[in-house]
Amino acid sequence: MKNFSTVGVRVAVVALFAGLLAAPTQAATCEFRPNAPDQHLVVKGDTLWDISGKFLEHPWCWPQVWGLNKEEIRNPHWIYPGQVIYFDRKNNRLSLSRPGSGDGSGSANGVLRLSPQVRTEGLGKDAIQAIPSGVIEPFLSQPLIVDADELKGSPRIAAAQEGHVYLGKDDKIYVRGNLKGGSSFQVFRPGTPLKDPENGKLVAYEAVYLGTAKLFAEAKPGVDVHTFMVATSKQEIGVGDLLIPAPPTVMRNYMPHPPDQKVDARVMGVYSGVTHAGQNQVVSINRGTLDGVDVGTVLQLYNLGKRVVDPGAAKTGILRTTKPTIKLPDEQSGTLFIFRTFKRVSYGLIMQVTEPVEVGDVARSPE
């Protein structure tokens, strides 16, 4: 498999520093590469996935070889350019200390170079990324995945300022519907229906993101609409467009892990206006939080095995209206990293790939 190219975007994401020296031996599935180097100097533009790929057969196994658990992940530490990562071959682990040094400082010569005790959260922006965040940033706020029931209950723009047909930043709009206590909303327009490749049923809609709107004044008694102001506008907004509560801004701890339960999903959509996806491209799958998929879930990608005509089928002398066929096996093609989830749909970034990925391909729990 090919390791993806790094993207030097400075985004504060979970990394690793404290508590690493006590890391246990990795699980049997997380094997080190036969040609793994003894050490790696961290440089700007590195990612944890990239670095781990230099040492491990499966880069997503890095939390196991660093000995992190979910509780430690919630309290992120950092790795910075200039540090050296060592391969402790005796204990089968990665470390920020030279094997055998015993200094526990995370440096090559016993000198404390970077200490998590003195760093502030603000300095985390200089830490290396877990994955190439620049690729997925547009997908963290939009496009939107909207369930059919959400579509029916969404507040809508019922009117605009007099004489305004299309609206932009700082324009006033009048919204009808239940705000459910919200004050900050995304404006969208129903877009592409997402259908399950397995049964053809409608799963959700990928909505067209138009911008954001802020509540100016709630409807008073005798008034049917709430007053909003357009805060940002990516595309022209008009009467009839819908509102959905803006997602909270949260720190994304992109720590890879297999799903807690078995996942057997299919690729529903490929983005960037293409029919086949490659490395560093985004796809959607027909599984979400209701199926045990969360941010950081790693799935294996497979090209769906085709059904082909069997030219060597035994001849029975019976007149056949159709030719006999055989089902080919699904062939593993890459790794998918889930970075945003909805109820029934998730977005994933293709981390490695050996064959192009297309709609209908399989995404399963790692074996």
The pLDDT tens digits of the residues spanning 197-210 come to 888 888 888 888 89
How far is Cα 360 from Cα 362, in angstroms, rounded to an integer?
A: 7
Question: DSSP assignment, residue 110?
Answer: S
Please give the distance of CA 250 from its chain centroid, rounded to a whole number. Answer: 14
The pLDDT value recorded for residue 142 is 65
Judge whether residue 115 has pLDDT over 90.
Answer: no
More confident residue, 129 or 110: 129
How far is Cα 260 from Cα 292, in angstroms, rounded to an integer?
A: 7
Which among 173, 185, 247, 172 is positioned nearest to 211, based on CA atoms?
185
The pLDDT value recorded for residue 272 is 67
pLDDT digits (tens, 9 = 90+) for 328-348: 888 889 899 998 888 899 999
Secondary-structure percent of the chain, ordered helix, strand, coil, rounded to 5:
10, 35, 55
Tell whether omega for the bond before 155 is within 30 degrees of 0, i.e. cis. no
The pLDDT value recorded for residue 313 is 67
pLDDT digits (tens, 9 = 90+) for 234-288: 888 999 999 998 876 655 657 788 898 999 999 998 876 677 888 888 899 999 9
Residue type for position 134: G
The pLDDT value recorded for residue 68 is 53
Mean pLDDT of 143-148: 76
pLDDT digits (tens, 9 = 90+) for 27-51: 336 788 899 999 899 888 888 888 8
How far is Cα 252 from Cα 141, in angstroms, rounded to an integer?
A: 13
The pLDDT value recorded for residue 319 is 52
- Domains, the chain, ranges and CATH? 1-130 (no CATH), 142-245 (no CATH), 264-364 (2.40.10)
Considering the chain, what percentage of its residues have pLDDT values greater than 90?
26
How far is Cα 350 from Cα 358, in angstroms, rounded to an integer?
A: 12
Sheet of 93-95, strands arranged across: 39-41, 84-88, 93-95
CB atoms within 10 A of CB 152: 7
